[in-house]
Amino acid sequence: MKLVKDLPEIFASFSEQRQKSFLAVKEWKDKGKPVVGSYCTYFPKEIAMAAGAASVSLCATSDETIPEAEKDLPKNLCPLIKSSYGFAKTDKCPFFYFSDVVVGESTCDGKKKMYELMSEFKDVFFLRLPHEQTEKAVALYRDEIVRLKDYLEQKFEVKITEEMVREATRVNNRANKALKDLYSVMKHDPTPVSGYDIFKVLYGSTFRFDRAALADEVNALREKIEREYTEGKHFEKRPRILITGCPIGGATEKVIRAVEDNGGVVIGYENCSGEKAVGIQVEEDAEDIYEALSRRYLAIGCSIMTPNKNRFDSLSEMIDEYHADGVLDMTLQACHTYAIETNKVHRFVTEEKGIPYINVETDYSQTDIGQLNTRVAAFIEML
């Protein structure tokens, strides 16, 4: 196997970013600067950035705190929701502890009720997210984004001007473009690196405060990968798997490992760990910057949207551009919207795109690793 020399150390620095950020968020707070926490890609972080706040992703991908969460929440609830609430309730997430406010959103019913409980011990601002991608929905979400701006102005005693929002938009656009350009290196066949290495950068980036510095670092990393690829340093040629479905991170990284430990390579992430989070740009020069933000975030192809045309457009584009040999659709137990879409995704992938498909349902435990490896290995062997 040919691997890019010196890259593992660089990638490791991103995978350790969460631990480093625990210290960084305390230092940020010690300087008297605000912190805004969130759980979802529908959160318009540009507004928090314009307010001078650090925008941080909150802990939500481990079964460590689920038993504590189940004292308040039903056992048959989505593990992502139970984990999120458990970390918040037990104060085992430093990002949550140091957040001045958590911005929630009405994605699914479970999260909506979770935020209601969470508001009993933390300030929560609740964004009323439309579940359709129409002009009326754009107008409604624009008003919600302005309402968030007004709230942060009052809470942090700052004035957020339109130019501040535009500047934050330019900075975040550049960071998102850098991340998208990075994972675009996986269009090469064979790939320059493993899909797990790319994932560590994407996941680690969600814990970075300085989005401008992030863009520079990611661009430098991509240039290094491309340069060494031209020198013949690359990952071995393997069946190319595109992952779609629920968010991946923490405990569910077992799905990535199941692919790459059994002879495949993950060439892309059409979920909140990849394309959904960074694949869409805000129109920086739009006449109404708040409307532009609303359009950008409502364009995310999440299963809570109905109909969800944008998810299938993104899947089609990524299957073609990344030359996918197969699609793995990961659903979390009790995530009803993604579970309901699996049949449509199955038909789309196998009938319209003409490549194999596998669905795996899992949770945040490690009890299904053996079964997961068996199924994924058989799928890759078929390819």
Question: Where in the chain are the domains?
Answer: 16-158
| CATH number of the structural domain 16-158 | 3.40.50.11890
pLDDT score, position 210: 86
pLDDT score, position 7: 52
Q: At what angle do helices 195-205 and 17-30 cross, to 10 degrees?
A: 10
- Whole-prediction pTM: 0.94
Which segments in the chain show pLDDT lower than 70?
1-19
pLDDT score, position 1: 35
pLDDT score, position 18: 60
- Each as own residue / partner, the long-range contacts of residues 145-154 (CB below 8 Å, 24 or more positions apart, any chain) are 145/44, 145/47, 145/290, 145/293, 145/294, 146/290, 148/44, 148/47, 148/103, 149/47, 149/50, 149/51, 149/290, 151/101, 151/125, 152/36, 152/47, 152/48, 152/51, 152/53, 152/101, 153/51
Q: What is the pLDDT of residues 113-168, one digit of tens each?
A: 999 999 999 999 999 999 999 999 999 999 999 999 999 999 999 999 999 999 99
Residue pair 255/328 in contact by the 8 Å Cβ criterion: yes
